[in-house]
């Protein structure tokens, strides 16, 4: 029964709580006990606020007993990546620099989940300042993949992904600056959604106008991601992108049971030169499932400049600028890959930075042209399964026994382009490799078509279900 509670979708748990068939206290106790058992093996949490969560669960149970009108996520546990503030809890950013930093107020996304009735259970691990696609840091140690303890759970929302995959709370808030929701989702066998730029406000962005970072839901099912996403969206005065629009209702083209007439463009490679054979096999099987639902699949064959170099200029120069105030005092106490990224960033010129911004515009316009011809784009989410848990992010990734460059040039090449263009993108499980590790399929839609992306993902989930599969860590 305990395992069934841990792997129960949030939608179902919330429904059972409303109907007085599931005790919020019993549910919370099971989740907290699961975290206590798993933490020594996985290291997914920085801090667990068990006493506060149990007190909130008792309040939730009392509200049920009083037959109050209950919000949609009443009594459901959620976790928050350690880059986002939760009042009274530390926000360390995975760094010794902020080891003693305690948040005074909730960030916008935890505040909205709490308003929807969900209960915060703790903060999940991240690499230092979320700078890489693996989750380990000098402050928090290594987070491991529930499907293979010698592998990473991805990054930088790797603690969130591993926790959800292991049944340690059905909902997790992640952040995605270059794939950090979708990559860990694919690597850990769960769902991760990066919405349209501005759909979920980013009150933590250093440069809101040039922002390419997002907060998003990480869950085991598409239904949970959709419910969670609906509570997180909406304007916030601190994020100008959130003031300009809102996700549209599901297109009439998708309201019927199927994808008849839906045009999908398939992109097999982006900047990456190679894709692992297992990833390709699972992706091709996924395309067949979409075709069986009625979709028309067309390979995208025209050359596209995926601006990997220019994207790296933006990313690493941003790191260099953010870290400059701390380098003199903290350099020797930081993750060496963080220091290396900052050093690389210092080497770019003003001309490089301005040209990178111009390239971002060109990439956006190229994707816009593709989405005139296609309703959606699909690709693998990663070029191979999870890297070793101790992989050095400054080294070459190996795909098919060949060195293929840094993670963003190889393993995660499918992810960062849509941070730069702002289009909604979701990763859903596509199968497992021969090594027993998960693979993912990425589905990309038009601006503000987030609900359409979720609808396609939900139909795909029905055709190729995954949530019943549980890691045996």
Of the residues 79, 156, 286, 337, only one is catalytic, namely 156
The number of residues in the chain equals 473
The mean per-residue pLDDT over the stretch 248-274 comes to 94
Annotation says 410 is catalytic:
no
Residue 288 has pLDDT above 60, yes or no: yes
- Percentage of the chain exceeding pLDDT 70: 100
The mean per-residue pLDDT over the stretch 140-145 comes to 98
Residue 10 in any domain: the answer is: yes
pTM for this prediction: 0.98
- pLDDT category, 2, cuts 50, 70, 90? low
- pLDDT category, 255, cuts 50, 70, 90? confident
CA–CA dist 192, 154 (Å, integer): 12
Give the pLDDT of residue 203. 87
Residue 468 in any domain: the answer is: no
Give the pLDDT of residue 224. 98
Q: How many domains does the chain have?
A: 1
Residue 309 in any domain: the answer is: yes
- Percentage of the chain exceeding pLDDT 90: 97
Residue 40 in any domain: the answer is: yes
CA–CA dist 33, 50 (Å, integer): 10
Residue 3 has pLDDT above 90, yes or no: no
Residue 30 has pLDDT above 60, yes or no: yes
Residue 141 in any domain: the answer is: yes
- Per-position DSSP letters for 50-113, written without gaps between them: HHHHHHHHHHHHHHHHTT----TTTT-EEEEETTS--TTSB--TTSGGGTT-B-SS--HHHHHH
Residue 264 in any domain: the answer is: yes
The mean per-residue pLDDT over the stretch 180-187 comes to 98
CATH number at residue 380: 3.90.1300.10
- For β-strands 171-176 and 148-152, DSSP reports them as unpaired
Joined tokens for residue 36? 């206590």
Residue 71 has pLDDT above 90, yes or no: yes
Residue 470 in any domain: the answer is: no
Whole-angstrom CA distances from 457 to 71, 116, 152, 426, 443 are 25, 24, 25, 8, 7
- pLDDT category, 257, cuts 50, 70, 90? confident
Give residue-wise pLDDT tens across range 190-237: 999 999 999 999 988 999 999 999 999 999 999 999 999 999 999 999
Give the pLDDT of residue 99. 98
For residue 173, give every residue at least 6 positions away whose Cβ sits within 8 Å of its Cβ, in sequence order, or none.
78, 79, 80, 81, 84, 109, 110, 113, 160, 215, 216, 217, 218, 232
Instruction: Tell me the residue range of the domain where 390 lies.
Output: 2-463
Annotation says 153 is catalytic:
no
In whole numbers, what is the pLDDT of the chain averaged over residues?
Answer: 97
Q: Which residues are bridge partners to 174 per DSSP?
A: 216
Residue 1 has pLDDT above 70, yes or no: no
Residue 471 in any domain: the answer is: no
Give the pLDDT of residue 204. 87
Long-range contacts of 346-352 (CB under 8 A, 24+ apart): 346/317, 346/320, 348/313, 348/316, 348/317, 352/313, 352/317
Of the residues 23, 79, 81, 242, only one is catalytic, namely 81
Of the residues 180, 188, 242, 410, only one is catalytic, namely 180
Residue 57 has pLDDT above 90, yes or no: yes
Annotation says 180 is catalytic:
yes
Give residue-wise pLDDT tens across range 331-349: 999 999 999 999 999 999 9
């Amino acid at each position: 029964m305990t395992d069934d509670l841990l792997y129960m979708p949030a939608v179902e748990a919330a429904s059972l709580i409303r109907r007085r068939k599931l005790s919020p206290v019993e549910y919370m106790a099971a989740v907290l006990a699961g975290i206590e058992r798993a933490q020594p093996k996985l290291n997914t949490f920085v801090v667990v606020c068990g006493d506060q969560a149990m007190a909130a669960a008792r309040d939730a149970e009392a509200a049920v007993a009083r037959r109050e009108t209950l919000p949609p996520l009443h009594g459901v546990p959620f976790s928050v990546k350690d880059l986002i503030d939760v009042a009274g809890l530390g926000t360390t950013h995975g760094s010794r620099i902020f080891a003693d930093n305690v948040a005074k107020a909730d960030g916008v996304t935890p505040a909205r989940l709490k308003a929807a009735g969900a209960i915060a259970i703790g903060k999940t691990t991240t690499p230092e300042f979320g700078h890489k696609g693996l989750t380990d840091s000098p402050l928090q140690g290594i987070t491991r993949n529930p499907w293979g303890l010698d592998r990473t759970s991805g990054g930088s929302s790797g603690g969130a992904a591993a926790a959800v995959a292991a049944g340690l709370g059905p909902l997790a808030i992640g952040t995605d600056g270059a794939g950090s929701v979708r990559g860990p989702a694919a690597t850990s066998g769960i769902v991760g959604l990066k919405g349209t730029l501005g759909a979920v406000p980013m009150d933590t962005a250093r440069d809101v106008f040039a922002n390419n970072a997002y907060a998003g839901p990480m869950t085991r099912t598409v239904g949970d991601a959709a419910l969670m996403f609906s509570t997180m969206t909406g304007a916030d005065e601190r994020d100008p992108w959130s003031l300009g629009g809102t996700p549209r209702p599901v297109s009439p083209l998708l309201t019927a049971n199927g994808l008849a007439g839906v045009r999908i463009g398939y992109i097999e490679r982006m900047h990456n030169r190679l894709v692992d054979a297992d990833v390709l096999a699972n992706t091709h099987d996924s395309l067949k499932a979409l075709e069986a639902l009625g979709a028309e699949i067309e390979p995208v064959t025209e050359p596209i400049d995926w601006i990997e170099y220019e994207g790296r200029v933006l990313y690493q120069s941003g790191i260099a600028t953010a870290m400059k105030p701390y380098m003199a005092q903290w350099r020797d106490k930081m993750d060496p890959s963080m220091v290396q990224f900052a050093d690389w960033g210092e080497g770019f010129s003003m001309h490089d930075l301005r040209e990178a911004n111009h390239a971002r515009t060109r990439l956006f316009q190229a994707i816009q042209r593709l989405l005139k011809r296609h309703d959606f784009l699909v690709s693998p989410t990663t070029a191979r399964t999870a890297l070793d848990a101790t992989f050095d992010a400054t080294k070459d990734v190996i795909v098919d026994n060949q060195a293929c460059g840094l993670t963003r040039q190889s393993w995660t090449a499918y992810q960062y382009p849509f941070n730069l263009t702002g289009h909604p993108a979701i990763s859903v499980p596509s199968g497992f490799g021969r090594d027993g590790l998960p693979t993912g399929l990425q589905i990309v839609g038009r601006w503000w078509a987030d609900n359409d992306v979720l609808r396609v993902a939900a139909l795909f989930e029905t055709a190729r279900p995954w949530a019943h599969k549980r890691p045996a860590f």
